[in-house]
Amino acid sequence: MNPDPSARPRVYQVGVGLALRGAEVHAIRLATRLRERGVAGGLIFTYDHEPAADARRRGLEVHVVPKTRRGDPTVIPRLARLIRGLSADLIHTHLVNGNFFGRLASIFVPGLSVISTVHNYGDALVAVRSDGERRFIYRQDIWTSVLCDKVIAVTESLRTQLIADGMPPARVVSILNGVDSERFDPARVTRGALRAELGVAPATTLLASAGRLVAPKGFDKFLRVVAGLRGKGIDAAALVLGDGPDRDALIALARELGLDGHAYFPGYRDDLEQVYADIDGFVLCSDTETTSLVTLEAMAMEKPAAVWAVGSLPEVLAGETAGRLVPHGDVAGLVDAVAAFATDAARAAAMGRAGREIVENRFSERVQIAQTVDVYRAALERRGKRFRWEAA
- Is the per-residue pLDDT at 225 higher than 80? yes
Instruction: Write phi, then psi, for 360 (nearest 5 degrees).
Output: -65, -35
Cα 318 to the chain's mean position, in Å? 20
Query: What mean pLDDT value characterizes the chain?
Result: 92
Cβ count within 10 A of residue 54: 19
Taking phi first (over 0 means left), then psi (-120 to 50 degrees means alpha), and beta for anything else, what does residue 242 get?
A: left
pTM of the model: 0.80
* Digit-coded pLDDT (tens) for 351-370: 999 999 999 988 989 889 99
Contact 260, 125 (CB under 8 A): no
- Is the per-residue pLDDT at 23 higher than 90? no
Which residues face 324 on adjacent strands? 306
Which residues face 73 on adjacent strands? none
Instruction: Provide the pLDDT confidence category of residue 261 given band limits of 50, 70 and 90.
Output: very high
At residue 120, the pLDDT reads 75
At residue 302, the pLDDT reads 98
DSSP three-state, residue 338: helix
Of the listed ranges 12-16, 20-24, 282-286, 293-297, the least confidently predicted one is 20-24
Of the listed ranges 2-16, 122-136, 315-329, the least confidently predicted one is 122-136
- Is the per-residue pLDDT at 325 higher than 70? yes
Stretch 218-243: mean pLDDT = 97
Instruction: Provide the pLDDT confidence category of residue 390 given band limits of 50, 70 and 90.
Output: confident
Which of 387, 311, 355, 381 has its CA nearest to residue 4? 387
At residue 124, the pLDDT reads 44
Instruction: Provide the pLDDT confidence category of residue 291 given band limits of 50, 70 and 90.
Output: confident
At residue 55, the pLDDT reads 95
In angstroms, the CA 163 to CA 171 distance is: 9
- Is the per-residue pLDDT at 33 higher than 50? yes
At residue 245, the pLDDT reads 95
Characterize 68-101 residue by residue with b for buried, 16 or more Cβ atoms within 10 angstroms of its Cβ, and e for exposed: eeeeeeebbebbbebbeebebbbbbbbbbbbbbb
In angstroms, the CA 266 to CA 216 distance is: 20
Task: Using DSSP bridges, classify how beta strands 10-15 and 40-45 pair: parallel, antiparallel or unpaired.
Answer: parallel
Cβ count within 10 A of residue 134: 16
In the DSSP assignment, the letter for residue 172 is E
Q: What residue type is 384 in one-letter code?
A: G
At residue 127, the pLDDT reads 47
Q: How many residues does the chain have?
A: 392
Say what the alpha-carbon torsion angle 241, 246, 250, 252 is, to the nearest 10 degrees.
140
In angstroms, the CA 157 to CA 165 distance is: 12
At residue 131, the pLDDT reads 65
At residue 18, the pLDDT reads 78
Nearby residues of 120 by Cβ (< 8 Å), 6 or more positions away: 22, 23, 154, 158, 288, 289, 290, 311
- Is the per-residue pLDDT at 61 higher than 50? yes
In angstroms, the CA 267 to CA 242 distance is: 4
Stretch 314-318: mean pLDDT = 89
Contact 298, 320 (CB under 8 A): no
In angstroms, the CA 358 to CA 355 distance is: 5
CA atoms within 13 A on the CB side of 225: 33
Cβ count within 10 A of residue 318: 12
Contact 113, 93 (CB under 8 A): no
* Digit-coded pLDDT (tens) for 156-202: 888 998 999 889 999 999 999 899 999 999 999 999 999 999 999 99
Instruction: Provide the pLDDT confidence category of residue 119 given band limits of 50, 70 and 90.
Output: confident
- Is the per-residue pLDDT at 117 higher than 80? yes
Instruction: Write phi, then psi, for 136 (nearest 5 degrees).
Output: -65, -45
> Domains of the chain, with CATH numbers?
10-178+365-381 (3.40.50.2000), 186-362 (3.40.50.2000)
In angstroms, the CA 251 to CA 21 distance is: 21
pLDDT over 70, % of the chain: 94
Stretch 135-143: mean pLDDT = 82
pLDDT over 90, % of the chain: 76
Cα 137 to the chain's mean position, in Å? 21
- Is the per-residue pLDDT at 392 higher than 60? no
- Is the per-residue pLDDT at 391 higher than 80? no
